Structure formats: C-alpha cells, structure tokens
Amino acid sequence: MPILADLGLLDDLEAAGFPKKWGASMVWGVDDERWSWRFEETNRRWPHAYQVDRAQFDHLLLQGAASRGVRVLEGCAVHSVEFQSGEVRVSSADGDLRARMVVDASGQSALVANQTGTRSWDPFFRNVAVYGYYRDFDPLDAPDENNIFVEAAEAGWSWLIPLGERASVGMVLDKDAVAHRLNREGLADFLSSCLGPETRRMLAGAKFEEGPYVERDWSYCAERFVMDSAVLVGDAACFVDPLFSSGVHLALSGGVLAAAYANTLICDPEFAPAAALEYERLYRQQYDHFHQLAKLFYASNRTHGSYFWETRRLSGDDRFTPRQAFVRAVAGQPPQGYERVVLDKGELPDEFRQSVAAIVGERAGRVDAQVDWSRAVPSLVEGSAVVARPLLESGRFVKGQVLVSLARPEGVPCSALVEALVSRIDGRTDVSRLVARLAAEVGARSGPELTEAVNQTLAILHVEGMLTVSET
C-alpha cells in the first residue's frame, strides 16, 4: 500500500472498485477453530489492502507507467537477451532492441534465469495447485467478508479469495501424492473433494464459473538477482509459495529497488557495483523472510496428520539454527504480525519454540531493566558493528552507514553521531567519558542535550540486544 501510494495509484485502485480486505482468516494450527488476523493490529496507517483481479490490476500499473512517460510496447514478446560490452541486445517480436540494462519482469517464465541456467528449484515446497472461480459463494461474516480464507485440510490447504461477485478457490497439494489422481479424475470434482469443511460450506450454493487450472513447480530462486547488465525482479527472480500472497509484494518492492539500482547505474556508474550488491541483499532478505515464514506455517499445523503435513514438518534447517531461522522470519517485521500468531495458534518443534521463548524473554528483560546511564559502561555484543552500506535515498542508492547485529542482520541506518558513539564503545569507558570524547573529538556540542541523546541511543541499542551494560 505505501508503495502504491508513492506511485500515485491509490485513487486508481479505489476507482477500480476492488474489494477492501482487512486481514486474513484461517483454520490452521492445533485445532479446527477459525481465527482471524487484521492489518490494523500492526499497522494503523494502512489498515486495509485490496483483493485484486490480477489482469485488471496489472493493466492499471501498466497505464500508470505509460501516463508518466514510459514508452510501452504491447504485444511485443521477448525471445532472448544477449549481453554485450556495455549494453544488452534484446531479441523481440518487434526486432532487436538495444539497452544499457534490462529489468527482467517476465514472471514465472523467468527469461534471464532460464536462459543462463541459474534457476534453482526448492525441494521443500514440492506442491501442485488446482484452482478455479466460483460465483454466488457465501462469504465470511463482517468484518472478515473480504479476507482471504485459508483452511488446512487432509490433502493440503485451500484458499478462497473474494473478488466481488466471484471468488478464486484453489487447493495446494503434494505434487507426488496426487499425480495419479490428477490424470484420472475430473479436475473440478477433484478440487471439490479435497476442500475442507468450512470452504465447502461457503461454496454450497455457488456455481463453478471458470477453470479448473493446474499449476506445478512454482517454488524456486535464481542464484543471482543481478547479473551483467540485467536485474531480476518479481517472479522472474524468485517465488516462494502462494500461502502469503507474497508475489505481488515482492514484485512491487523489488520494482522500487530495481528502479533505484537503474537510477544509480545511470547517475553514478562507479557506485553501481555496490548498489548491485545491496539490491541483491535487500531483495534476498525479503525472499528469506517469506521463505522462513511459510516453513513456520507448514511446520506449525497439527490440524491434520496426513502425508502432506508430515512431510512438511520442520525437522531442522541445515543452514540456520532455530534462533537464526526465527530472526530471519521476523526480521524488520512488527512484533505481533502473522509470525507471532502462528506461534500462538500452531505447534512448533521444541528446540525452535525454546529459542523463540528465549529471544522474547531476553528482550522483555532488557525493556524492563532500570539502567543508570550516568554510571553505565556499555559493551558491544559480538557481531554488532557499524558498516558501510548503500542506502535508499531519493530514488537511488547512496553511500551510508548502518548498524548491524546478529539480532538485526538487516541493519539500521545510523547518523554520524551514532556512528561516532558506537566506534568509541570499548567495554571500559563509562557514558560520561564517552560524552566528553564525542564533544572533544567530533565537535559535538556538550551539555545536557548531548548527554540525553547518547543515553537515548544507548537505551535503544540495549533493548535491541546490540550492547550489554555494566556499572562503575
């Protein structure tokens, strides 16, 4: 929503009449009771989003770009791209086009990743989806009538997305377990037979209008999101799972980042390599967030004990400890978002749950701690440091500094004062001497205002787990 606001498209969305959704409703976890989560619980500024018809929504975005001066060629299929010295040759239905760089937004066809052989399939989400459209369905009660409804069932899980007078309904199933049934049964009857009881109730009086369709092999990630003179964005770069409708979010967010990278390449070519690395890091961080969050959801469901669910339990992730997996799942997210509801509603492996409890308990202890900063001696926690990193500013990447830690791997942009303060924390110097050094060495104005600024900064870093405190 904030991205669409920045693009100036909120009025167009409103005028299109898309249904407003206020959250999500689910039958998922350790019992079969439906529960709902609403955006306003974590975001007062944007309490709703929209359920969109993708063809209409995508065309709205295309018109928005064209109205702002973008040259748009429609019906112009791209066949291949060839990277040459300093430019890209694009082979298309309209002949060869040349460009300084290309942004691959080709969706799941993933033109560049497939052409370069750099797309890797995810072994965890080996699923297949069967879906179609129904009319005259029975919606959930207000205020959840436009929520996406997700229901865990024996064979997998289903979605029902209200789109005004009709709904998109689909079922996600294990690819290998249902292959023989997909080839033998009528898809419409097969879809209906797999749905959970509440979804079937909502469709009891509905008419099957369109489909059914089948989608396979959708979970993948490119080895690199930036290569030569190309940047990959949206489904052309990666796709996790339909569970959180993350595709549009990643496409829009990645579009903003890709635009900033392109702008940097044009305006500051020498800084472009650093910007490319930052694009890769930021976009992959978002991918990791949704990937870990989807794995949490699959692992936490105990409503059914079928083959589908047993093969998706989290026995561990070789890449991450339970603590690291949780940090990646919630990095940069509100403290009471989807992921925390999962922990309340679902059942996770003991080691993972214990790690979560430890993280939450440690933070609560730091929040409640009464620190006398006039006598405090701060020490940086291992892994906490100020590092040079490109920052997004005015539509491009610029040189900046961020404070990173094991608890906040995504980093927090920091001012020159914070950088100067952190660089002088050595575990031996108390706060009063740190303030004096800042005043003497960097020309900061001493006095109560500087002391208060330092104390507030240290208090925040302490709560975030980036430093520990002892007293003189």
- What mean pLDDT value characterizes the chain? 87
At 151, phi and psi to the nearest 5?
-130, 125
Q: Answer whether 154's CB lies under 8 Å from 107's CB.
A: no
Taking residues 333-351, what's their average pLDDT? Answer: 67
Taking residues 300-319, what's their average pLDDT? Answer: 75
Q: pLDDT digit string (tens) for 145-200?
A: 999 999 999 999 999 999 988 999 999 998 888 877 776 668 888 898 999 999 99
pTM attached to this predicted model: 0.86
Residue 471: the pLDDT is 80
pLDDT at 262 over 90: yes
CB atoms within 10 A of CB 420: 18
Rounded CA separation 324/332 (Å): 14
Cβ-count burial of 206 within 10 angstroms (0-12 exposed, 13-18 middle, 19+ buried)?
middle
Nearest CA to 24 out of 177, 140, 180, 127 is that of: 140
Rounded CA separation 402/387 (Å): 6
Residue 146 pairs with which residues in a beta bridge? Answer: none
Rounded CA separation 275/287 (Å): 18
Rounded CA separation 146/33 (Å): 19
Structure-model confidence comparison of residues 321 and 426, the more confident one: 426
Look-up: residue for tokens 């002088």? 424
CA 240 to chain centroid, in Å, comes to 10
| 314: confidence class by pLDDT, cuts 50, 70, 90 | low
Rounded CA separation 285/410 (Å): 8
Residue 335: the pLDDT is 47
Rounded CA separation 146/134 (Å): 15
Omega prior to 212 cis, within 30 of 0: yes
Residue 211: the pLDDT is 86
Structure-model confidence comparison of residues 401 and 472, the more confident one: 401
Token digits for 237?
A: 């770069």
Rounded CA separation 127/219 (Å): 8
pLDDT at 333 over 60: no
At 467, phi and psi to the nearest 5?
-150, 155
Question: Going by CATH, does the domain composed of 376-471 fall within 1.20.120?
Answer: no
CA 213 to chain centroid, in Å, comes to 26
Residue 327: the pLDDT is 61
Residue 139: the pLDDT is 94
pLDDT at 334 over 60: no
pLDDT at 136 over 90: yes
CB atoms within 10 A of CB 292: 23
Rounded CA separation 144/37 (Å): 9
- Could you tell me the residue ranges of all domains in the chain? 289-368, 376-471
- Judged by DSSP in three states, 236 sits in helix
Q: pLDDT digit string (tens) for 12-46?
A: 999 999 999 999 999 988 888 899 888 888 788 99
pLDDT at 315 over 60: no
Q: Answer whether 37's CB lies under 8 Å from 341's CB.
A: yes
Rounded CA separation 126/124 (Å): 6
% residues pLDDT > 70 (the chain): 92
Nearest CA to 175 out of 218, 215, 128 is that of: 128
DSSP assignment string, 202-213:
HTTT-EEEEEEE
- Judged by DSSP in three states, 409 sits in coil
Residue 407: the pLDDT is 74
| 323: confidence class by pLDDT, cuts 50, 70, 90 | low
DSSP H or E segment with residue 116: helix 111-116
Q: Answer whether 38's CB lies under 8 Å from 150's CB.
A: no
